[in-house]
Chains A and B, each alone.
Chain A
Amino acid sequence: MTGVLVAYTIHLGLVVIFAGMALCLARLLRGPHLADRALAADALITHLMGLVLLLTIRMETLLLFDGVLVLALLGFVTTVAAAQYIMRPHLRRLREQEREIAERGEEVRP
């Protein structure tokens, strides 16, 4: 009896997750800054993880649980790469600032 309840909740969850993916995709296409797009891509990958989890519950198999772990790793690597890419044009100025601070004799905070 309650198995039907779980199945209905999973169908509701598919609708909710696809709606969330549509919102994230809209932000990905619109986002004024590059960081907005990276953030939206990260949220999109997280929604994909949710989708894989719902599929795991629906199909009653453990095959796809590793996919969740892989997607989590992929999302983190994507975010870090995007952050480095946004930071790269400013790195030379940061080095100059560090040299200036070292000449001034202040200690660089970790």
Chain B
Amino acid sequence: MIVFVLDIFTVAALLFGLFFMFAGALGVWRLPDFFNRTHAASKCVTLGISGLLLAAVLHFAVRFVGPEQGGLAWEGLIGAATKAVLVTVFLYTAAPVGSHMLARAAHRDGAKKDKGTLGDDLEADRNRPNGPAPESPV
């Protein structure tokens, strides 16, 4: 019974992660300009990876502490959970930093903006009448 429930949760986590991953890839291909694309890539793909990690940990819970194994091998589950937490923490700090750096460099390099863009405060700060506003590099 517990194996059945854990398997259902594994499938649910897998489908969650796969949906967000495909949504991110579709956004990278379909959205109109760079700044929209970085939005899709950095959010959806990170969420998708966390869903797949959850699925892996749940599956190792079935595999290692299920009744077929006599509920013995905790080491495998603990190893999988520790590595999953490490990957999640690293990804959740690295993805915003990386995409912010890339977006700032692209804006400085003059990446093309979509026609529907409502405003650009960084550009306005750079072109204000009494010289450019103070701004940190990178």
Given A27-B28, A76-B94, A42–B83 Cβ distance below 8 Å? no
Give the secondary structure class of B's interface.
helix
Bound CA span A84–B52, Å? 31
Residue of B nearest to A110 (CB): B136
Q: Is the CB of B131 within 8 A of A90?
A: no
Specify which chain A residues have a CB less than 8 angstroms from the CB of B112 in the assembled complex.
32-33
Specify which chain B residues have a CB less than 8 angstroms from the CB of A80 in the assembled complex.
97-98, 101
Bound CA span A72–B109, Å? 26
> Which of B7, B28, B83, B138 lies in contact with A43, CB distance below 8 A?
B28
Specify which chain A residues have a CB less than 8 angstroms from the CB of B138 in the assembled complex.
83-84, 87
Closest Cβ of chain A: how far from B113's Cβ, in Å? 11
Closest Cβ of chain B: how far from A92's Cβ, in Å? 11
Q: Is the CB of A69 within 8 A of B87?
A: yes
Specify which chain B residues have a CB less than 8 angstroms from the CB of A65 in the assembled complex.
56, 79-80, 83-84
Specify which chain A residues have a CB less than 8 angstroms from the CB of B99 in the assembled complex.
39, 79
Q: Is the CB of A43 within 8 A of B135?
A: no
Specify which chain B residues have a CB less than 8 angstroms from the CB of A1 in the assembled complex.
4
- Residue pairs across A and B with Cβ atoms less than 8 A apart, 24 shown, are A2-B11, A5-B7, A6-B10, A13-B14, A17-B21, A19-B22, A20-B26, A27-B28, A33-B34, A35-B111, A43-B45, A50-B48, A53-B49, A56-B56, A57-B14, A57-B59, A76-B94, A80-B98, A86-B109, A89-B109, A97-B132, A98-B134, A101-B134, A109-B134
Listed in ascending order, the chain B residues whose CB lies under 8 Å from chain A are 3-4, 7-8, 10-11, 14-15, 17-18, 21-22, 24-26, 28-29, 34, 37-38, 41, 45-46, 48-49, 52-53, 55-56, 59-60, 63, 76, 79-80, 83-84, 86-87, 90-91, 94-95, 97-99, 101-106, 108-109, 111-112, 131-132, 134-138
Give me the 10 closest cross-chain CB pairs, A-B, nearest first: A20-B25, A2-B7, A79-B98, A35-B106, A83-B101, A23-B29, A76-B94, A86-B105, A87-B105, A23-B25
Q: Known pairs A20-B21, A35-B111, A56-B56. 15 more at Cβ < 8 A? A: A9-B15, A13-B14, A19-B25, A35-B34, A39-B28, A39-B99, A42-B41, A53-B53, A65-B80, A80-B98, A83-B138, A86-B105, A95-B137, A98-B137, A104-B131
